[in-house]
């Protein structure tokens, strides 16, 4: 039981995060919590002109921030990581209020931010390029990495802060100011994070004004970022539909893009799989965050010899999973974000049934009244790999298909638009290595004996095909936030031309 109204809890949590944002602006943008369907705040919105001013301020900040030594820039991110640790519980609660995540998942999202800050601090001393052998005597060739410019970050409701931080922590150590356009459904978490960032800025002392800014409002603010030649890189997380708009706009002005779009992630359960482990991994991958992760497992191919072993166990787990208010109940599955999500889930299940699918679950649950949308996750046994199975429906639906031939299963696995994440459950070395090979999973993330979701920050995160091709977070993703210069230095007294070309002016 909540001991206070949700809007009071929201105000108290925002206050604890240090956010000065007014939460009851007359005529402002309503922020609705999916937990109860209540409006928890009405916020002032930025105009397109405000966005232009923010871009200009960020451009000015770039001029000085790029000259600050990278390890010193890392110090700001180190302080931010410290402040995040202090604010973890409050930020996690904001994620739960705005996105409907369980406390554990809300805190997990904040932990991803802390982890990427730690990563970025180390990176701030490792932004190095290669020294390359030259064909000319008395010459040296090397690569230098320089700050790129202003980075625009567009984020989605389902991860209201971690993806911002994957981008921002790297961008800041790379010498780039950041401009954040959060989802209209989750602006409060963004404002809370910004307040926590401001605390780090204060302790840091001499960061330029406008190094990190948040733009609250509608699509016209995203457009201001995609259309401005002063925004060097746009990193956008969201639907493939959104990416189809953002990508061409940024490309038309030769800006850079990192796109992290929809997935249609699948698992393959092979005859030799550890069934208990597979069951648990699939349950989290498919039902966690109420099926609203871009990495959610949406399709499952099960070998015919183990189908009757694992599918009944899965159906049991689906029937018994707890669905409830994430703030009060300890339930594993919280609400869908809104009515539109519920409608698209219902429509997909109807379509699946029309194609011969057997639907288990999927009903609306009576939790928190008419304005909140809680559902029993659905598992659908499909006779065909077709229709809604080929699309991403952002809801907890797992389509299960039986297979007999591994290669055919692999082919079906790859026969969808999305290319984000994938898993194989096997203890057979041949199947495992085939899945990870050039003819295996075509996704940006390919896992063995773990689910499709819950990636660590140390790896590059993103996917192929309609997922957009971008990579964020760990590994060498930092390179996207910098520009590379190839430098050739002649320290000889001669001027030999490359490729043996002569040009003797006498």
Residues that bind ligand UN1 (CB under 6 A): 112, 158-159, 163, 237, 293-295, 453-455
Out of 83, 260, 368, 431, pick the active-site residue: 260
CB of 238 to ligand UN1, least distance (A): 9
Q: Is 260 known to be catalytic?
A: yes
User: Among 127, 121, 122, 124, which residue's Cα sits nearest to residue 144?
Assistant: 127
SS3 399: strand
Query: What is the pairing mode between strands 178-181 and 265-269?
Result: unpaired
Q: Residue 159 or 435: which CB sits closer to ligand UN1?
A: 159
Q: Shortest Cβ distance from residue 421 to ligand UN1 (Å)?
A: 7
- Cα separation, 136 vs 498, in Å, equals 7
Q: Of 444, 386, 437, which Cα lies nearest the Cα of 419?
A: 444
Task: Tell me which H or E stretch contains 199.
Answer: helix 187-204
For the bound state, the minimum distance from the C-beta of residue 311 to ligand UN1, rounded and expressed in Å, comes to: 24
In this structure, are residues 419 and 466 in contact, taking their beta carbons and an 8 Å threshold? yes
Helices (H) and strands (E) in the chain, counts: 13, 23
- What's the sign of the alpha-carbon dihedral 284, 288, 292, 293? negative
> For residues 160 and 357, which CB has a smaller minimum distance to ligand UN1 in the complex?
160
- Residue-wise DSSP of 299-332: EEEEEHHHHHHHHHHHHHHHHH--B--TTTS--S
In the complex with ligand UN1, the residue whose CB is nearer, 35 or 294, is 294
Say how many C-beta atoms besides its own lie within 10 A of residue 454's C-beta.
18
Query: Least distance (Å) from ligand UN1 to the CB of residue 369?
Result: 27
Which DSSP string do the residues of 419-474 spell out, in sequence order? ESEEEEE-S-HHHHHHHHSTTS--SSEEEESS-SS---TTSEE--EETT-S--EES
Q: Which is nearer to ligand UN1, 59 or 111 (CB)?
A: 111
CB of 454 to ligand UN1, least distance (A): 5
Shortest CB 154 distance to ligand UN1, Å: 12
Entry field: residues in the chain:
506
Residue closest to 187 by CA, chosen among 163, 219, 162, 155: 155
The least CB distance from residue 453 to ligand UN1, in Å, is 4
334 phi, psi to nearest 5 deg: -95, -160
Measured between alpha carbons, how far is residue 30 from residues 33, 113, 215 in Å? 10, 26, 15
Residue 387, judged by CB atoms within 10 A of its CB (0-12, 13-18, 19+), counts as middle
**Active-site residue, selected from the candidate residues 294, 381, 392, 466:** 294
Strands 29-32 and 397-403: unpaired
Q: How far is the CB of 289 from ligand UN1 (least distance, A)?
A: 8
Pick 210 or 463: Cβ nearer ligand UN1: 463
Q: Is 202 a catalytic residue?
A: no
List, by residue number, the catalytic residues: 260, 294
């Amino acid at each position: 039981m909540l001991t206070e109204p949700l809007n009071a809890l929201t105000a108290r949590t925002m206050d604890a995060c240090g956010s000065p944002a007014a939460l009851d602006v007359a005529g402002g943008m309503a922020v609705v919590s999916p937990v109860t369907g209540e409006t928890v705040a009405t916020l002032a919105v930025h105009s397109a002109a405000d966005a232009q001013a923010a871009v200009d301020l960020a451009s000015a900040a770039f001029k000085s921030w790029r000259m600050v030594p990278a390890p010193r820039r890392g110090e700001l991110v180190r302080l931010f990581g410290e402040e995040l640790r202090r604010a973890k519980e409050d930020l996690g609660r904001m994620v739960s209020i705005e996105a409907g995540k369980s406390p554990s998942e809300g805190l997990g999202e904040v932990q991803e931010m802390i982890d990427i800050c730690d990563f970025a601090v180390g990176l701030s001393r490792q932004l190095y390029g290669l020294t390359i052998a030259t064909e000319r005597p008395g010459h040296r060739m090397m690569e230098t990495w320089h700050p790129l410019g202003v980075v625009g970050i567009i984020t989605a409701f389902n991860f209201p802060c971690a993806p911002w931080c994957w981008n921002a922590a790297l961008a800041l150590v790379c010498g780039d100011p950041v401009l954040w356009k959060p989802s209209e459904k989750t602006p409060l978490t963004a404002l809370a994070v910004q307040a926590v960032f401001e605390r780090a800025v204060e302790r840091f002392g001499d960061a330029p004004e406008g190094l990190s800014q948040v733009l609250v409002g509608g699509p016209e603010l995203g457009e201001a970022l995609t259309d401005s030649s002063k925004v060097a890189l746009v990193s956008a997380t969201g639907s493939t539909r959104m990416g189809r708009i953002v990508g061409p706009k940024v490309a038309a002005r030769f800006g850079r893009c990192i796109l992290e779009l929809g997935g249609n992630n699948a698992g393959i359960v092979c005859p030799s799989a550890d069934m208990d482990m597979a069951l648990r991994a699939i349950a989290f991958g498919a039902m966690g965050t109420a099926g609203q992760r871009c990495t959610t497992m949406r399709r499952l191919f099960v070998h015919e010899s183990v189908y009757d072993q694992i599918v009944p166990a899965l159906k049991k787990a689906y029937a018994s999973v707890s669905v409830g208010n994430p703030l009060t109940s300890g339930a594993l599955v919280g609400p869908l974000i809104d009515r539109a999500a519920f409608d698209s889930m219902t429509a997909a299940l109807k379509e699946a049934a029309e194609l011969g699918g057997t639907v288990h679950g999927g009903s609306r649950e009576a939790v928190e009244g008419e304005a909140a949308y809680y559902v029993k996750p659905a598992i659908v046994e499909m006779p065909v790999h077709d229709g809604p199975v080929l699309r991403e429906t952002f809801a907890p639906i797992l389509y299960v298909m039986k297979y007999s031939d591994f290669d055919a299963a692999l082919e079906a696995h790859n026969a969808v638009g999305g290319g984000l994440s994938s898993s194989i459950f096997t203890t057979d070395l041949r199947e495992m290595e085939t899945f990870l090979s050039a003819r295996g999973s075509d996704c940006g993330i390919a896992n063995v004996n773990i689910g499709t979701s819950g990636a660590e920050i140390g790896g590059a995160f993103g996917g192929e095909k309609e997922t957009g091709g971008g990579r964020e977070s760990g590994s060498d993703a930092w390179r996207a936030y910098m520009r590379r210069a190839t430098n050739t230095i002649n320290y000889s007294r001669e001027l030999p031309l490359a490729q043996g070309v002569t040009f003797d002016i006498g």
